[in-house]
Structure 1
Amino acid sequence: MFEALADRMESAWKKLRGQDKISESNIQEALREVRRALLEADANLQVVKDFVAEVQKKAQGEQVISGVNPGQQFIKIVHDELVTVMGETNVPMAHVEPAPTIVLMAGLQGTGKTTATAKLALHLRKQERNCLLVATDVYRPAAIDQLITLGKQINVPVFELGSDANPVEIARQGVEKAKADGVDTVIIDTAGRLQIDESMMAELAQIKDAVQPHEVLLVVDAMTGQEAANLTRTFHEQIGITGAILTKMDGDTRGGAALSVRRISGQPIKFIGVGEKVEALQPFYPDRMASRILGMGDVLTLVEKAQEEVDLEEAEKLQEKILTAKFDFTDFLKQTRLMKNMGSLSGLVKLIPGMGGKISDDQLQKGEEQLKRVEAMINSMTPEERRDPELLSGSPSRRRRIAKGSGYGLDDVSKLVKDFQKMRSLMQQMGQGRFPGMGMPGMGGGMGGMFGGGDPVGGAPGAPPPGWRGYNTPSPGKKKKKDKKKKGFGSL
């Protein structure tokens, strides 16, 4: 998401290169690029006008700090204004005593409301809040069945009275059931329409009056652009909402919705949906989103993803294996599966500062395919062969068996074994404070090859992409990498 917006913003910074001060003359061209970027992102016109005016006011005549160029200073001003426009801080979910906390989900049909209901339940369950889902959408075919299926998937109970019952009565009885069972949070999935109409609003108002929810969350499709903000404002004026969930943020969204919803509707974005899986819901942090928009990555979200998946005790054991060159194929397989659990390769790369836009979607796709190839070959090994890769080095018959079992060629398996042995040796050297060139097994001989299955990435086969300061490139960050390993993050 936001690639086009980030590219436009980058061209704005270029207008200020070589300047010693941000002045009225040199800022106009940069501001024009910012304005164009926001309009192309389908942000609300009034939001764009106010945003540009504020940036100009704050940037005009700003003295350039020693060691910081005007472009960098202008980026900070734009970043801070983006954070202000999107709400400054994360607004957490209500949590009331005595329980239950009642959450009413609203939205148009096709926005992913029912899925968002299940995602929210899973998110709260991870915070040790038990939930009950209530199915009141009696109009859309299979809507109740969909919620029941999602509830089973995440192990959260669903209350329903069938498609012939009154939605208001279903909601009322669902809340009573939650109170009787000592449930912490009850989430009510309501019916949507293709567009706002009187009957939908009247039913929502009746349900709201009957259950007196503590949260009314509007689920909005982020791909609708500035219309998302207008929709949020309309629902708030007629029903009264406490926040929004932007779905489909992983799709071809241009970012306008994220920039406009808070300013136009007055209500905060509380969560964003970043995929179809039930785990793909993230709390909305304006500062992190501003960093993503400006191509700065999002390290905090990356760390949170890792913390959810990484067992620190396991990580320390793995670190010890790496330092003593005992890292084996079983460990490598665990790491690739861990990365899969954290999300797609393309999604993770975009969270790394400086990596957004450096690697094409095609290269990332090749990287995903290459990881599947490696996993297939490792899965065709015996447990003994995974634990002791040396067995494969001197046994062509074993490698032939693995090639047949995985559906790949003997050369592919031989290359995997060779690259793995090399990587294991280099990992040991890294643990001793030395940083030679490093390759990933079956990935083309260099870190860059990981994203193209051995195809060139901005240079020779296996070379890193432009701007990538990886293990193949000496960098001033050597000591930091070593420090990270001491802290137990070597497995990441």
Structure 2
Amino acid sequence: MVLADLGRKINSALRSLSNAVVINEEVLQELLKEICKALLEADVNIKLVKRLRENIKKCIDFDEMATGLNKRRIIQSTVFNELCKLLDPGVPAWQPSKGKPNVIMFVGLQGSGKTTTCTKLAYYYQKKGWKTSLVCADTFRAGAFDQLKQNATKARIPFYGSYTEMDPVVIAQDGVQKFKSDNFEIIIVDTSGRHKQEESLFEEMLQVSNAVDPDNIIYVMDASIGQACESQAQAFKSKVDIASVIVTKLDGHAKGGGALSAVAATCSPIIFIGTGEHIDDLEQFKTKPFVSKLLGMGDIEGLMDKVTELKLDENEGLIDKLKHGQFTLRDMYEQFQNIMKMGPFNQIIGMIPGFGSDFLSKGNERESMSRLKKLMTIMDSMSDQELDNPNGAKLFTKQPSRTARVARGSGTSVREVQELLTQYQKFAQMVKKMGGIKGLFKGGDMGKNVNPAQMAKLNQQVAKVMDPRVLQQMGGMGGLQSLMKQFQQQMGPGGR
């Protein structure tokens, strides 16, 4: 059972409260039984499950509960809070300081995904505007430097290593010194791992740590080994001062609950989780949004972070066009680019309330990404005049030879080009209606100045161009209105 199954089972147990005619002790006991069973199946430590059960029972006292209180809401809220406590050791996560060198040292067993995660973290900080670098101090595993070199080259991240020097301490020291003198802000040091905990591994870790004096030591934990994570994490923590944890292989393993609960038991906060094989499959870990997403309640905060990274509010030209109901093929192309930058579809879909992280299967996700790339390839074969024309679709309707030319240039069929133009027309019509709604945009900023009185009309327009199955998955018009409301709250003066 993967973690998505755990979320579904807990969510199903919580939904059963809605069907109960009377909420009493018996109903609560049945609910706790289902939740504890789901957690144990996900390999969460039995002691932690027992503690969670006891804490929930302590918080909910039907005899003391005042008449008129919403018992369902109180139980759901208590379960949510206790799940958060289960995953949160209560220790603040380490944060790098801008404008100075931050040395981050990676430790962990061989096969945990340490070297790949080093590159993912460097890439994450690079996207945020930090000057990042990588040092390969793993001389134990054959091919470790080649792997890091290949990953770093692909991500365009400067790296340091050696084929001749066999002392990892010397390599780590030289690499860190080099990048410090070049004013790098994030210096990530990858160290050796072993197949099991050995004294030689811990001795080497200590020597490298003493040589580079890291600001943060990250323990990379493999989620697939379940409850064995706890003893391993404690063994590493007893030798070096582990400040943070990254959990890898959390995207498809039954034992992920064991890894997550082991982190709480060792009092080291998770800072990131690995959610796939690609370089951007690294997700910042925040307890409440993680539990919220796990239970299918979405992660509006995470979604807004992704949107903020795109700096859409700085695109004054697009906002001005939207205000006047204009939307060109080039605008659509740029929005497709933004979608690609936001990361894997599954991660984004999982952040929207009402959608599970497994809403798209891996096959469907690949299919969607492939289709998006094909649409962009079609638009790559269009001329500037076609891309920038306010009535791009009409231009192709009046001159069918344009459609044939674009199809030839992009290696697609005329029908596929026509499908793209039909989709564009739907978007353009919606934007035109948005611009026509008087008072929807009350001044420059699209996010902060949406007139709440006009949101119902906008919801109806959005609903018309949405796939009915997707709308149903969101909970119909009510779910869509709720989502739009949350976006407003996040983007308004009191939001982010």
- TM-score bracket, shorter-length normalisation: 0.7 to 0.9
Shifted more, 276-285 versus 356-365: the winner is: 356-365
Q: 1:480 to 1:28 in 2, by over 3 A?
A: closer
Q: TM-score scaled to structure 2, two decimals?
A: 0.82
Residue in structure 1 matching 2:471, options 454, 464, 469: 464
Measured after TM superposition, the shift of residue 341 of structure 1 is: 0.8
Structure 1 position 193, deviation (Å)? 1.6
Q: 1:20 to 1:347 in 2, by over 3 A?
A: same
Does structure 1 retain, via aligned residues, the 8 Å contact 2:3–2:254?
yes
1:454 — aligned with what?
A: none
CA contact (8 A) 1:261 1:268 kept: no
- 1:250 corresponds in structure 2 to 251
In structure 1, the residue matched to 2:224 is 223
Indicate if the aligned counterparts of 2:271 and 2:284 stay in contact, CA closer than 8 A: yes
Over 3 Å counting, the alpha-carbon distance change for 1:196 and 1:124 in structure 2 is: same
Matches within 5 A, 1:26-425: 26-61=27-62, 63=65, 68=70, 70=72, 72-87=73-88, 91-93=92-94, 95=96, 100-125=101-126, 129-252=130-253, 255-257=256-258, 259-314=260-315, 316-356=316-356, 359-361=359-361, 364=365, 366-388=367-389, 389=392, 390-425=394-429
Q: Which moves more between the two structures, 296-305 or 60-69?
A: 60-69
Shift of 1:102: 3.1
CA positional deviation for 1:284? 1.8
- Stretches of structure 2 lacking an aligned partner (at least 5 in a row): 438-453
Cα 1:60–1:226 shift into 2, 3 Å: farther
Aligned residue type for 1:350: G
**SS state at 2:187 partner:** strand
Report the counterpart of residue 447 of structure 1 in structure 2: 466
Per-residue CA deviations over 1:345-402 (Å, capped at 9, x if unaligned) read 2221111011116845265555444434433332332222222312112222222333
| Worse-matched range after superposition: 80-89 or 2-11 | 80-89
Amino acid paired to 1:339: I
8 Å CA contact 1:39, 1:45 repeated in 2: yes
User: Per-residue CA shift, 1:258-296, capped at 9, x if unaligned?
Assistant: 531333222221222233343443332111111112211
* Contact 2:297/2:353 (<8 A) preserved: yes
1:466 partner letter: Q
Which secondary structure state, in structure 2, belongs to the residue aligned with residue 17 of structure 1?
Answer: helix
2:431 paired with 1:427: yes
Q: By percentage of residues, which structure has more helix?
A: 2
CA RMSD of aligned residues (A): 3.4
Alpha-carbon spacing, 1:312–1:278, altered in 2? closer, same or farther (3 Å): same
Matches of 1:478 and 1:226, distance apart in 2: 37
2:6 aligns to what? 5
Query: CA offset at residue 107 of structure 1?
Result: 0.9
Q: In the alignment, what sits opposite 2:440? A: none
Q: Matches of 1:64 and 1:16 in 2, distance apart?
A: 19
- C-alpha change, 1:13 and 1:93, in structure 2 (3 Å) is same
Instruction: In structure 2, give the amino acid aligned to 1:2.
Output: L
Which whole-Å deviations, capped at 9, do the CAs of 1:275-333 have from their partners, x for residues lacking one?
3343443332111111112211111111111111234221x322332343321111111
Alpha-carbon separation, structure 2, partners of 1:100 and 1:438: 50
More displaced stretch, 31-40 vs 428-437: 428-437
For 1:179 and 1:446, locate their aligned partners in 2 and report how far apart those are by CA, in whole Å.
Answer: 53
Q: Please state how far the C-alpha of 1:235 moved relative to its aligned partner.
A: 1.3
Distance of 2:412 and 2:155 partners within structure 1: 36
CA offsets, 1:66-116, max 9 Å, x none? 58451x332211111122122266733255799644322111122221122
* C-alpha distance in 2 between matches for 1:227 and 1:312: 46
Question: Is the CA contact 2:224–2:253 (under 8 Å) kept in the aligned structure 1?
Answer: yes
- 1:410–1:276 Cα change, 3 Å: same
- Percent identical residues: 29
Displacement of 1:153: 4.1
User: Partners of 1:178 and 1:357 in 2: how far apart?
Assistant: 39
Write the distance in 2 (CA, Å) between the matches of 1:478 and 1:351. 11
Change in Cα spacing, 1:318 to 1:133, as seen in structure 2 (3 Å) is: same
Q: Distance in 1 between matches of 2:38 and 2:52?
A: 12
Change (3 A) 1:95 1:338: closer
Deviation at 1:478, TM superposition (A): 9.9
Checking the alignment, whether the CA contact within 8 Å between 1:90 and 1:285 is kept in structure 2 is: no
Aligned AA for 2:331? D
Structure 2 counterpart of 1:426, one-letter code: M
Q: How far, CA to CA, are the matches of 1:110 and 1:474 in structure 2?
A: 43
Q: Distance in 2 between matches of 1:151 and 1:115?
A: 10
Distance 2:25 2:124 in 1: 47
**CA 1:121/1:369 → structure 2, altered by over 3 Å: closer, same or farther?**
closer
Instruction: Provide TM-score, normalisation by structure 1.
Output: 0.83
Partners of 1:76 and 1:214 in 2: CA distance: 37
The 1-side partners of 2:6 and 2:66 are apart by 25
Deviations 1:388-425 (A, max 9, x none): 31211222222233334444443333343234224312
Q: Which moved more, 1:171-180 or 1:216-225?
A: 171-180
- Letter of the 1:221 partner, please give it: D
Distance 2:310 2:183 in 1: 29
Unaligned runs of 5+ in 1: 450-456, 458-462
Q: 1:358 and 1:189 mapped to 2: Cα distance?
A: 32
The Cα of 1:119 is off from its aligned counterpart by: 2.6
Report how far residue 227 of structure 1 moved: 2.5
CA contact (8 A) 1:90 1:283 kept: no
Quick one: which amino acid aligns to residue 294 of structure 1? L
Residue 106 of structure 1 contacts residue 216 of structure 1 at CA under 8 Å; is this kept in 2? yes
Structure-2 separation of matches of 1:482 and 1:54: 33
Change (3 A) 1:221 1:65: farther
8 A Cα contact 1:64 1:73, kept in partner: no
Stretch moving more, 265-274 or 150-159: 150-159
Once residues 481 and 121 of structure 2 are traced to their aligned partners in structure 1, the CA distance between those partners, rounded to angstroms, is 42
| Paired amino acid for 2:399 | S
Distance 1:435 1:49, change over 3 A: same
Moved more, 5-14 or 97-106: 97-106
Q: Per the alignment, in what secondary structure is the counterpart of residue 245 of structure 1?
A: strand
Amino acid at match of 2:466: M
